[in-house]
Amino acid sequence: MCQRQRLEEFWQDKLLRSGTSIGANVEEAVAAYSREDFAFKMNIALKEARETHYWLRLIKESKMVKPERLDEILGETEEVKKVLGAIVSKVRSNLKVKSQK
């Protein structure tokens, strides 16, 4: 197996792990036992979305896949990051207000 192929398999594994972890952590957040736990798990999902976006950009730049094939997926990943970021921000803000009362 050539070095390029090993590198591609490594990136594919990383992408698969981080990409599937987003949904798994959102599921865990839905079943959270507290608002703090919910915020914590949604933040992990956000971090995984950021990592997924990173691996997709790396794969695009490597030209392992035709770059234009990844544009839509990169856009969708950006949207997921925005949604998760807004959720985390709102929950943290609500927790902060609640703790000040």
pLDDT tens, residue by residue, 7-62:
889 989 999 999 999 999 999 999 999 999 999 999 999 999 999 999 999 999 98
- Asked if the 3-100 domain carries CATH number 1.20.1440.60, the reply is yes
Q: In 3D, which of 96, 91, 87, 92 has the Cα closest to residue 46?
A: 87
Predicted model pTM: 0.89
